[in-house]
Amino acid sequence: MNKKPAPALRIGIIGGGISGVALALDLCRHGHLDVQLFESAPAFGEVGAGVSFGANAVRAIAGLGLGEPYRQIADRTPEPWQDVWFEWRRANDAGYLGASVAPGVGQSSVHRADFLDALAAGLPASVACFSKRAARVEQQGHEARVVFTDGTDYRCDLLIAADGIKSSVRNHVLEGLGCEAVAPRFTGTCAYRGMIDSLRLREAYRAHGIDEHLVDVPQMYLGLDGHILTFPVKHGRIINVVAFVSDRSQPNLTWPQDAPWVREASQREMLDAFAGWGEAARVLLECIPAPTHWALHDLAELPGYVHGRVALIGDAAHAMLPHQGAGAGQGLEDAYFLARLLGDPQVDGGNLSTLLAAYDALRRPRACRVQRTSWEAGELYELRDSVVGADEQALGAMLASRFDWLWNHDLDADVAEARERLGWAALSTCD
């Protein structure tokens, strides 16, 4: 007598950003899974400009089967500086302090919207549902139910919240764990963002006798309570600029509740924020006539990412400052980890709890460390590190190797440990 095949495991993903779409794209290839993705907007779309990926994130992208579409749109530092992540320079005179090198990867970056478009292009139309904003989540037995603001609902065996720093699902998980709700917190740091045509910047530097090498290679200018970064996107045609300034006048600053996190700003306001910086920084900022101003928020480290059949990934779990270029990369690591496990036909309702426990146990400590060190990186860049301060020699030495642990993490070893916890055999090399 033939055994009746088990029904497909129903997986719901809330949020159509990079990590949510990347996970859905991998999971929908498996016949034992029934995947639905819900996005609150009427179409896919990303807010922001350039996004940088470390070597760890590039490996996760390749592991999710997205290596080729990523390569087609990604920017890298040009030869002979192809391994440079950032060159570090003084704010006042652009003097060279050192470089961080990521062999084989260098500065790997894309325009956020371009990357999301490339991901979404491979997603079957039946998987995505738009204009679906989660209002509340309930759990009964081994089933999760999400109710949307339009009154409809969806029931599944596993609900994955990839709905960003303002997640509507996060507090359901925390309450289920007996913990207090967590809201985004203002970090005290704001950023002016802009995009410059690379030819225009090159001409401006040439007119002022500034070395055009500063256009060719990703740069980070470091000053007291501020830093400015530049790197190319759109195959070098555009230079992405982010100019950070931190208010350290008092601890635990709050952002006005009714104030937007993102607004338009004047060039004068931006230039005044960096008064006293050197000519290279001033000329760079003068090429941005209409910057946007971003109030940077993050999350406290969460005590757990899983409650029952609901799990948090990406910024919903571990939103962080962008100072290591690691936020989106951590979401992709989450997606890779879950994809490798949920994509195995051995997964079923009986071992899903063990799988989720492994996710929480193995992913959360790393993501929390990346959150913590991203804040510490900002202190270092802005000459506020308690040990290094403004010691240029110590600063250059620390920045040369500071990111190695982040970039060289063995995510497949985490997956192997999770499989061991599940009692599954190790994956063969052809899997």
> Could you give the C-alpha distances from 297 to 8, 300, 301, 321, in angstroms and in order?
38, 10, 13, 7
Closest CA to 256 of 299, 226, 292, 297: 297
Is residue 266 within 8 Å of residue 188, measured between CB atoms?
Answer: no
Q: What six digits make up the tokens of 268? A: 């004068």
Considering the candidates 90, 170, 193, 364, report the single residue annotated as catalytic. 193
Closest CA to 336 of 265, 253, 421, 410: 410
Is residue 285 within 8 Å of residue 270, measured between CB atoms?
Answer: yes
> Could you give the C-alpha distances from 404 to 54, 332, 333, 387, in angstroms and in order?
10, 18, 16, 20
- As a whole number of angstroms, the distance between CA 363 and CA 50 comes to 25
- As a whole number of angstroms, the distance between CA 58 and CA 211 comes to 30
State the CB neighbour count (10 A cutoff) for residue 276. 11
- As a whole number of angstroms, the distance between CA 161 and CA 170 comes to 8
Nearby residues of 279 by Cβ (< 8 Å), 6 or more positions away: 94, 208, 210
With b for 16 or more beta-carbon neighbours within 10 A and e for fewer, the 293-312 pattern comes to bbbbbbbebbebbbbbbbbb
Phi, psi of 158 (to 5 degrees): -150, 130
Is residue 75 within 8 Å of residue 236, measured between CB atoms?
Answer: yes
The backbone region for 104, taken as left when phi is positive above 0, alpha when psi lies in -120 to 50, beta otherwise, is left
| Residues in the chain, overall count | 431
State the CB neighbour count (10 A cutoff) for residue 318. 29
The CA-based angle 210-215-218, given to 5 degrees, is 125
* 364 a catalytic residue: no
Active site residues: 193
